Amino acid sequence: MIHYAELNADFIISRFPELRQQVTDETRGFDEFLPHAVFGMVFNRLTADLLKQDNYQTNSLLLRIFAMYEELSANGDFETQNLVQVTLLEYLWDEKMTYQRAMEMMGTHTRESWNEITYLSVPSE
């Protein structure tokens, strides 16, 4: 089980060493690690940008990001699953392209969290 309290800079950096500097920059000035804030700042724009690339289906970084989303969705406690749904997945509902392509990339547990986002409208453009 992945507990929300265990989500920290090392959790991200161990999976994404190439994002070390960004994680360091995003956590500078915080007295404590704020998972919703840091995960959102590190992954939201990056994920959306990668989904817009022609090679999104084979992009290794994007595949690893969605693998992490699946890991957190499948093995996380309630707060961790909430982080995936509210902070990471909701962001991908802003544009039709990211919405459609994100659905292609999801695993079973991530899709379950995605399907619970009934309070947002599917983007039309």
User: Residue 30: what pLDDT?
Assistant: 84
**pLDDT score for 125:** 67
Residues in the chain with pLDDT values less than 50: none
Residue 29 pLDDT: 85
Q: How far apart are CA 114 and CA 125, in angstroms?
A: 19
Which pTM does this prediction carry?
A: 0.95
pLDDT in tens, 12-37: 999 999 999 999 999 998 889 999 99
